[in-house]
Amino acid sequence: MYTGKLLRGHERDPLAQPPLRWRRPSPRPLPLVSTLHPRLALLAALMANSLACYDGKAAPPDRAADRATMVVQQVEARGVTDRRVLAAMRKVPRHLFVPPAVQDRAYGDHPLPIGEDQTISQPYVVAYMTEALRLKPHHRALEIGTGSGYQAAVLGELVKEVYTIEIVPSLGRRAAAVLKALGYRNVQVRIGDGYQGWARAAPFDAVMLTAAPPSIPAPLLAQLRVGGVLVAPLGPADSQVLVRMTRHPTGFRTERLLDVRFVPMTGRARERPTQHPGP
């Protein structure tokens, strides 16, 4: 998850439900929440949290205008041109993926804290990294570092299947709940160390890391399909670089994209450097 400024450089309706069937009235009134579909109840709670930070001044929960402005001023203005990526950024409700206390800043040009010393990357970084993966609708993607779940949702708009792993249980559970409430059935969330990837679902057309390891874990490279692309921040906090690695039949081509600053990848990645040193 990105923690600072760059140093250089099929609509889903979450409220859609099956047709209602007539039921005999209950002899006693039931609390409203008990009559809601579980997914709808969760989404209603998210919407309530979304409005709570406005001190009673209710803003439109969808905030489509904020997203449109964000895309024009922060994403397109900096050179992201992939139309599918831009459409996904306009569609995904970023404010529902962050804590209520910071939802009023969800569409600002900066990262935001999401708890557990983790962050959600600023919108431009999400768009830039997504575009760098060169995604196609039939692709299958692996994300290491679910965080808030926002990046997984953006990927979910663009590819057939998304597999995402989060090492912090509380973040993983919340991200899974939000993604489910918003209808992202093509996104699977696992809680655990992403170092070993998701071997059962491999190979992947795209792999994204949203935390920086000292070197790229070898299992993630092994799970990348020939022709596939991996994008990741790499290196120590004071000298990280965003890299893109493309797998060819004879090896990997590595490109340096941007100088960045992300939170470090934790777990096994911090215990022992892996075989690939990066660029």
Instruction: Provide the whole-model pTM.
Output: 0.79
Q: What is the pLDDT of residues 118-134, one digit of tens each?
A: 999 999 999 999 999 99
Active site residue 121: yes
CA distance 125 to 279: 20
Quickly state the pLDDT bin for 270 (edges 50, 70, 90).
confident
Task: Write down the catalytic residue from 26, 121, 148, 239.
Answer: 121
Q: How far apart are CA 218 and CA 10, in angstroms?
A: 35
CA dihedral 152→117→170→37, nearest 10 degrees, is -60
- Interatomic CA distance for residues 265 and 212, integer angstroms: 5
Q: What is the pLDDT of residues 185-202, one digit of tens each?
A: 999 999 999 999 999 999
Of 5, 24, 1, residue with least CA distance to 258: 5
Residues 6+ apart with CB under 8 A from 177: 42
Map residue 62 onto helix, strand or coil: coil
Bridging pattern class, strands 240-248 and 224-234: antiparallel
Q: What is the pLDDT of residues 34-91, one digit of tens each?
A: 344 555 555 555 554 544 443 444 444 789 999 999 999 999 999 999 999 999 999 9
The stretch 247-265 carries a mean pLDDT of 94
